[in-house]
Amino acid sequence: MRPFTYERATDLGQAVREASQTPGARFLAGGTNLLDLMKLEIERPQHLIDVSRLPLAGVEDADGGLRIGAMATNSQVAGDRRVREHYPVLTQAIVSGASGQLRNKATTGGNLLQRTRCPYFYDTTKPCNKRTPGAGCAALEGVSRETAILGASTACIAVHPSDMAVALVALGADVETQTPAGDTRRFPLMELHRLPGETPHIETHLIPGELITAVVLPPPPPGGQIYRKARDRASYATAHASIAIAGGQVALGGLAHKPWRAVTAEAALAAGASPTEAMTAELADASVGELNAFKVPLTTRLFAAAVQEISGEAA
């Protein structure tokens, strides 16, 4: 691990100001992803601002929904009685990711900002445009099934690994932030992450030093909710494909550089198409290679099964 200096933030405004003014500064929350990458020297911060003890860990009722503090741990959110009762898709998504120990440490904000698990991002002997912009992408010609089929570019075919974020996108969540200038911003989570384009190293629309302070859930949508995930192992593995359904809203995981809101499938389903037809329409423009082509039928079948399961519960 490269040397760095460490400080524990006690004031939100001061933390974001310092983060924007100190060269090489990064926020540290749960650290489960950042420290892993620092050990591999993929992340090389010069200064860590530990925000884990800022008073941002509460889960509060808000306008018929919930306001989840950015420092609330994954376990805390998944186990919250209100989340289990009114947003079961969120609990299901969180507990389908990582391990018990990691979920106890990982935070809501950190989960959204975790880096890709693309094996070529982790392999420092291979070029990666995320690690070194302009270096090239070894995954393009590489041996991996864990690559994107939606929204990818010739610079990057990595996928976003979060399960939680997929459920939050289906639920229509907003993100709340604090900017270095001291302003509070609020915008749809769907607009947090970027597609890779030519700059895959820039993964979100956050400005330097801006800190996620909360995720805000609207009132639960009418209709059933479900999270379904397909992966290589029964537990503790990222998704080849995952699906979150919340009422009429559908989001997909494991397929793109960001949690993917499936608006085409939603519209088709609402217009009376079968789940298979709806997902086939959503994935009509999918760009696949030999190794990840399986994600198209996998996602389509996973969606059909998930819709059937919700219908069964409603009946």
Partner 1 sequence: MLTTITVNGEARSLDLDPRTTLLDALREHLLLTGTKKGCDHGQCGACTVLVNGVRINACLSLAVAHDGDEVTTIEGLGTPEHLHPMQQAFLTHDAYQCGYCTPGQICSAVGMLREVEAGLPSHATRDVRADAVLDGEEIRERMSGNICRCSAYPQIVAAIAAVAEAES
Instruction: With contacts defined by CB under 8 A, name the span among 63-71, 100-108, 193-201, 241-249 that binds partner 1.
Output: 100-108
Single-letter code of the amino acid located at 253 = G
Nearest distance from residue 215's CB to partner 1, in Å?
Answer: 19
Any contact of residue 92 with partner 1 (CB under 8 A)? yes
The yes or no reply on residue 88 touching partner 1 (CB under 8 A) is yes
When asked if residue 159 is in the footprint of partner 1 (CB under 8 A), the reply is: no
User: Contact between 302 and partner 1 (CB under 8 A)?
Assistant: no
Distance of closest approach, residue 230 Cβ to partner 1, in angstroms: 13
| Contacts (CB under 8 A) with partner 1, residues 20-39 | 28, 31-32, 35-36, 39
Q: Which of residues 5 and 154 has its CB atom nearest to partner 1 in the complex?
A: 5
Q: How far is the CB of 103 from partner 1 (least distance, A)?
A: 9
- If the CB atoms of residues 38 and 138 are measured against partner 1, the closer one turns out to be 38
Q: Which of 79, 119, 127, 221 binds partner 1 (CB under 8 A)?
A: 79
For partner 1, the binding residue among 16, 19, 78, 239 (CB under 8 A) is: 78
Binding range to partner 1, per CB under 8 A, among 76-84, 141-149, 248-256, 290-298: 76-84
- With CB under 8 A as the contact rule, the residue among 21, 46, 101, 124 that binds partner 1 is 101
The DSSP-derived string for the chain is ----EEEE---HHHHHHHHHHSTTEEEESS-TTHHHHHHTTSS--SEEEE-TTSS---EEEETTEEEEETTSBHHHHHH-HHHHHH-HHHHHHHHTSS-HHHHHH-BHHHHHTPPP--HHHH-TTS--TTTSTTS--TTTTS--S---SSS--SS-------SHHHHHHHTT-EEEEE-TTS-EEEEEGGGTB---TT-TT--BSPPTT-EEEEEEEPSPPSS-EEEEEE-SSSSS---SEEEEEETTEEEEESSSSS-EE-HHHHHHHHTT--HHHHHHHHTTT----TTTTTHHHHHHHHHHHHHHHHHHHH-
Q: Which residues bind partner 1 (CB under 8 A)?
A: 1, 3-6, 8, 28, 31-32, 35-36, 39, 48, 50, 52, 75, 78-79, 81, 84-85, 88, 91-92, 95-96, 98-102, 104-105, 234-236
